[in-house]
Amino acid sequence: MKAIPQGRFVSLDAYRGFVMLAMVSGGLGVAGYARKHQPDSEFWNVLGYQLDHVHWGGCSFWDLIQPSFMFIVGVAMPFSYALRRAAGAPWWKMALHAFIRAAVLILLGTFLRSQGSFIDGKPVPNWIFKDVLSQIGFGYFFVFLFLSFRWYWQFLAALAILFATWFAFHQHPVMDASAVAEQGIKKEWEMYRGYAAHWNMNTNFASDADRVFLNKFPRKEPYVDDDGYHTLNFVPSMATMLFGVVAGGLLRSYWSIAAKFWTLLLWGLAFLAIGLALDHTLWPQKVPDLRDKFEVINAGYDRPFTDSTWTVCPVVKKIWTPTWAVFSTGWTLVLLSLFFGVIEGVGWKSWAFPFVVVGLNSIAIYVLANTLGGWITTNLKRYFGSDWMGGPYEPLKAKLAVTGVLWLFCYWLYRQRVFLKI
């Protein structure tokens, strides 16, 4: 096989579009439907589990959306960097551009989270930095600084970030019930006992940091914690982007298509194996019943290595644990290799067109989904009647309709050759 030219990869646009369509679809409301209308169906239970976030530890298909998007950001960075260098742009100018892009992403994320935010009846920003855009923004400039390094330095930097993250959580004292009450944490918090308790919900190193940092901003009431996501997630997620940078460098190389495909696939499988080796609580097991309450797990490295509760760090997407960064990167590499192999290698491209349309305007569809989703649903009901969207499948119909409208808008942008970027 010949090496492909250094142009735009349809496979990367298709993968990005696939991820964004999955994101804006909201899982089609399948998990809620399964819990409410099909509680005894194994098929709907498995499907609902995969189309929703796991309660805390573990991984579902739905959990792979954000790491895929962040990984793709990293993959694309070497391409844009090389294009600007080839155009004669000085490094300082590219650094300024990266810094401004990072700031815009952070502010855009805050803007999307500020809808309905009021203090004393006045609209105010909601200074929360947990969404994907803010997370990318906080890490983007730091990742940019590594673009001129060789791939092994980028890889080692990612590993160093993950080790530093693990060590910070490892050193943080485990909270007991009295300390939790003193902090004012009211929501569920105990996910693990034993050593793994260092990564409990709302009582870990990153949650303590947020209770200090986020309370520096004006608020209606003091920030305590609510959903388990944290600002400091951007630190380990930089490793995800750096792994993407390494993959982007591979795609830019003059290796053959076959060599690139097998390298991506085998590294993906290796990352998955490492994730499973570091956290045995992730070992394949029966999908939990959606009706079951989360069971607290007693886990740690102080038990036999062959035990399913052995772990040096549990895989938790909500706090982007180092093991999550490794395990999810394994899946992103496998998915990228499949898109790359089918589209660039075999040459089957036409099937991916609906994804490419969205992939070329990923920021646009993300912003529109977060600002106009409810408005689109309301107007569809207004003009076509509410009956057609009623019944037990109402969430699925509404999500499909909104996703369809947003896709049509992206298609219109595509036809106009308009591609919105930051």
For the chain, helix (H) and strand (E) counts, in that order, are 15, 4
List the structure tokens of 296: 């607290």
355 found inside a domain: yes
414 found inside a domain: no
Q: Which domain holds residue 175?
A: 10-359
What is the three-class DSSP state of 319? Answer: coil
Q: Nearest Cα to 398, choosing from 325, 363, 406, 314? A: 406
DSSP lists the bridge partners of residue 297 as 192
More confident position, 252 or 218: 252
Give pTM, 2 decimals: 0.93
Q: Nearest Cα to 109, choosing from 141, 143, 132? A: 132
404 found inside a domain: no
Q: Nearest Cα to 368, choosing from 376, 380, 379? A: 376
What is d(CA 363, CA 358) in angstroms, rounded to the nearest whole number? 9
- If you ran DSSP here, which 8-state letter would residue 393 be given? T
Asked whether the predicted pLDDT for residue 276 surpasses 70, the reply is yes
Residue 2 is predicted with a pLDDT of: 36
Asked whether the predicted pLDDT for residue 230 surpasses 70, the reply is yes
What is d(CA 158, CA 164) in angstroms, rounded to the nearest whole number? 10
Asked whether the predicted pLDDT for residue 284 surpasses 90, the reply is no
Burial (CB count within 10 angstroms: exposed 0-12, middle 13-18, buried 19+), residue 71: buried
Residue type, 42: E
List the structure tokens of 317: 């997407």
279-304 average pLDDT score: 82
46 found inside a domain: yes
Residue 375 is predicted with a pLDDT of: 85
- Write out pLDDT tens, residues 331-386: 999 999 999 999 999 999 999 999 999 999 999 999 999 888 888 888 887 777 76
313 found inside a domain: yes
Residue 137 is predicted with a pLDDT of: 96
Asked whether the predicted pLDDT for residue 189 surpasses 70, the reply is yes
Residue 3 is predicted with a pLDDT of: 38
Q: Kindly indicate the confidence band of residue 106, based on its pLDDT and cuts at 50, 70 and 90.
A: very high
Residue type, 45: N
What is d(CA 30, CA 400) in angstroms, rounded to the nearest whole number? 11
370 found inside a domain: no
Q: Kindly indicate the confidence band of residue 389, based on its pLDDT and cuts at 50, 70 and 90.
A: low
Total domain count for the chain? 1
Least confident of 33-42, 57-66, 145-154: 33-42
252-258 average pLDDT score: 94
30 found inside a domain: yes
More confident position, 180 or 268: 268
Residue 344 is predicted with a pLDDT of: 94
- If you ran DSSP here, which 8-state letter would residue 299 be given? -
410 found inside a domain: no
Asked whether the predicted pLDDT for residue 390 surpasses 70, the reply is no
Residue 6 is predicted with a pLDDT of: 46
Neighbour tally for 87: CB within 10 Å = 7
